[in-house]
Amino acid sequence: MAITVFVSFNHADQKQLEAFDLLKNKTKHVFESHDHLCKEVSPDGSEKLIICQINEGRSKPMREEIIKKFEQCSKLVVLMGNETYKDAWVEWEVNNFYKMKDALLPGKAWMNIRGMFLEGCEKATAPKALECRSTQRLAWDPEALEKWIEENPGA
């Protein structure tokens, strides 16, 4: 049975985008994510996409969409690169996923959250939302991630 997993990562980091795509294409499970891009119109009328800051009013629809995705996801994995710990979106995603799942499974929500170091980033600092709790971390190992996803899928 396919399990739906939300993958949180720094969308500005090309290495993390590539890792997400690699994992997504190697699994039988459903990997969800949400970009953090907003359209910005320049004075000449052209549009460009920029990363929206989490505290901006225009990020509210994105946050609402992410919450909807959380409702469908059993687990959350954070891809950890060298800059992930600075990403406010990652912090928000981890904290809100935990809050939602802890209300459903008091004391067990952290069983459904893992951090996974990207290859070559084994010494990366974990985001504060993972550091302040006893969240286990995985080395870069897609097979170990698959195993974790499949254990206690509804816990």
Q: Assign residue 56 the CATH number of its domain.
A: 3.40.50.11530
What does the pLDDT read at residue 54?
A: 92
119 inside domain:
yes
In a domain, 155, yes or no: no
Asked if residue 153 has pLDDT above 80, the reply is no
pLDDT tens readout for residues 30-41? 988 888 888 888
Return contacts of 135-143, CB within 8 angstroms, 24+ apart. 135/110, 137/80, 138/114, 140/19, 140/116, 141/116, 142/22, 142/23, 142/26, 142/27
| pLDDT of the residue at 154 | 57
Considering the chain, what is the average pLDDT of its residues?
88
Task: Give the 3-state secondary structure of residue 78.
Answer: strand
Predicted TM-score (pTM) of the model is 0.88
Tell me the two tokens of residue 53. Answer: 């800051």
Whether 94 is in a domain gets the answer: yes
In a domain? residue 62: yes
Whole-angstrom distance, CA of residue 139 vs CA of residue 144 = 8
Residue 133 has pLDDT above 70, yes or no: no
pLDDT at 134: 64
User: Does residue 49 sit in helix, strand or coil?
Assistant: strand
| Residue 133 to residue 154: CA distance in whole angstroms | 20
- Tell me how crowded residue 56 is: count the other CB atoms within 10 A of its CB: 10
pLDDT per residue over 16-29, tens digit each? 778 888 888 888 89
Angle CA(94)–CA(8)–CA(52) in degrees, nearest 5? 95
18 assigned to some structural domain = yes
User: Would you state the pLDDT for residue 131?
Assistant: 81
Residue 62's domain comprises: 4-150
Phi, psi of 146 (to 5 degrees): -60, -45
The end-to-end CA distance of the chain, in Å, is: 15
The count of structural domains within the chain is: 1
In a domain, 33, yes or no: yes
pLDDT confidence band for 92 (50 / 70 / 90): very high
Higher pLDDT, 25 or 66: 66
For the ranges 24-38, 85-99, 102-116, 140-154, the maximum mean pLDDT occurs at 85-99
